[in-house]
Amino acid sequence: MKTKKNALYVLFALILTGLISCNHGFDDCTNTIYIKNNSAKSIYAVSTLKKDFFNFNPTNENYKDDFMIEPGETIKVKIGIKLQCWEQTLEQTGGYVYIYVYDAEYLENPDVRWEDAQKNHIKLYTLNVNDLRDMKWEVKYP
């Protein structure tokens, strides 16, 4: 009976330790940044952890729903790594998330190539954890 009780205590201690360490030592652990379009036009918001690094075209039909924001709408940008948070990710990758905002009409113009459009954003946010906390994890454009 005592062995079962001790095993239960050990199991409880392991579970508690696992729950406490899930945020890897961060007091807060936020896994979502919200981007809200307060403008009258549709936009694309593309986030990256490395400045000017884009490995896809956000207007591609496979990605469009994740990056296009209609006026008055909000999208969520989540960390794709399980049990990781923005605080931890930004600490490990240089400290900043870069959010590029593009005019949807411009990007969707068939004569505009994504390779050429990348540098023609209408707004660039360079944000660290403190900036995001101050914004309550919601980036509002404009």
Dump pLDDT digits (tens) for 32-47: 999 999 999 999 999 9
Q: How many residues does the chain have?
A: 142
Residue type, 38: N
Compute the C-alpha angle 117/99/131, nearest 5°: 155
CB of 68 within 8 A of CB of 89? no
Q: Structure pTM?
A: 0.80
CB of 54 within 8 A of CB of 84? no
Could you write out the DSSP letters of every residue in 35-88?
EEE-SSS-EEEEEESSTT---S-TTSTTTHHHHEE-TT-EEEEE--STT--HHH
Cα 133 off chain centre by? 13
Task: Tell me the percentage of the chain whose pLDDT exceeds 70.
Answer: 79
Q: How far is CA 136 from CA 5, 14, 35, 74, 102, in A?
A: 44, 33, 11, 14, 23
Mean pLDDT of 117-131: 97
d(CA 48, CA 93): 11
Dump pLDDT digits (tens) for 83-113: 689 999 999 999 999 999 999 999 999 999 9
Residue that the structure tokens 């190539």 belong to: 113
Q: What is the pLDDT of residue 33?
A: 97
